[in-house]
Amino acid sequence: MIDERVQFLLEQAINTPMKPHMVLILHEDHRAVVTPTIMAGRVCRDIWCVAQALQELAEDGILVSQPSQREPIYTYQPRDEHQETICQLLSYYYDPIARNQLLPLLQELVQYVSLHRMRSRVVVA
């Protein structure tokens, strides 16, 4: 069973399968400084999706964004209220049995987020 705080964090901030992977990478090397280009290479995803995910993680208080000339620079600095929950989430991610419970929840969140984005783009005439 997924802890309620972890589920809430997933619903609010880490709501795609790529985001836990990025958080895991940055948590393991917490002094890392990344750009969307660097992270896209690490997670083998397109730069546009990675840039959006990094921006959302910064908006949700998991990363800190700093502007630069070419592209934003991100560092892993989760807010205090996220620290323990992120550690719990990562322990689920490392445990194969717990990860099997986590992945369907992430897929469900992806569908919800996609539907929500589609609805927000609909213009009422």
Low-confidence ranges of the chain (pLDDT < 70): 112-125
Q: Is this model's pTM higher than 0.85 or not?
A: no
Q: What is the pLDDT of residue 11?
A: 83
Tens of pLDDT, residue by residue over 2-11, are 789 988 888 8
Residue 61, domain member (yes or no): yes
Residue 124, domain member (yes or no): no
Residue 56, domain member (yes or no): yes
Beta bridge partners of 34: 74
**Domain CATH code at residue 53:** 1.10.10.10
The boundaries of the domain holding residue 52 are 4-119
User: In sequence order, which residues have a C-beta less than 8 Å from that of residue 103 and are 6 or more positions away?
Assistant: 17
Number of domains present in the structure of the chain = 1
Tens of pLDDT, residue by residue over 53-69, are 999 999 999 999 999 99
- Tell me how far apart the alpha carbons of residues 43 and 10 are, in angstroms, rounded to a whole number: 19
Residue 111, domain member (yes or no): yes
Q: What is the pLDDT of residue 41?
A: 95
